[in-house]
Amino acid sequence: IVCRALPREETAASEQSENGAPRFPKLRLANQALHPLAEEAQRGYPVELDGVVTFSHPIHPVFFLNDASGGLCVNYDDTDLPRPASGDLATVYGTTIAGGFATMVKASGLTINGRGPFPAVRSVTLEHALTGVEAAQWVELRGFLRQVEMRGGQAYLTVGAGCGESG
């Protein structure tokens, strides 16, 4: 995951609006929104992201959006926005918020622009995935399915990987 720090002059020019309230540059790539610190994400940077929906939760109002730079989680709770489907090309408007593992976007607007291809998948080890650094990224894990348990309409998988790892 790549995070880009804004040059000081770009940040200073955009920090205040006419009424003195903080104003931040609009982020247009997923990796620009992935702030390493929750406090920075919580500042509410405006975002306008175009990408493909790689997963849309069937129960909770969240989905994952990937663009050419990476992916992130989008929350659309407390809105009347439509639930996108996996494979939808979408434009998301909103602001950054701190998430459990990484920065998320709190959506205020969503446009579905048709269907599109999924990004190229990257293979990662289970050990690497469990660090959380791949949160919201489109990755694949290889292992052995040990158990499937249904709880509350959701499937929970127990997967065994090389060297006795499981998750």
pLDDT of residue 4: 31
**pTM score, two decimals?**
0.76
- Structural contact between residues 25 and 32, judged by C-beta atoms closer than 8 angstroms: no
pLDDT of residue 59: 86
Q: Which residues contact 152 (CB under 8 A, 6 or more apart)?
A: none
Distances in whole angstroms, Cα of residue 110 to Cα of each of 4, 60, 143, 159: 25, 16, 36, 34
- Structural contact between residues 109 and 138, judged by C-beta atoms closer than 8 angstroms: no
C-alpha torsion angle, residues 104, 110, 112, 117 (rounded to 10)? -10
pLDDT means over runs of 10, the chain (167 residues): 32 46 80 77 92 93 94 92 96 92 92 95 88 86 91 86 56
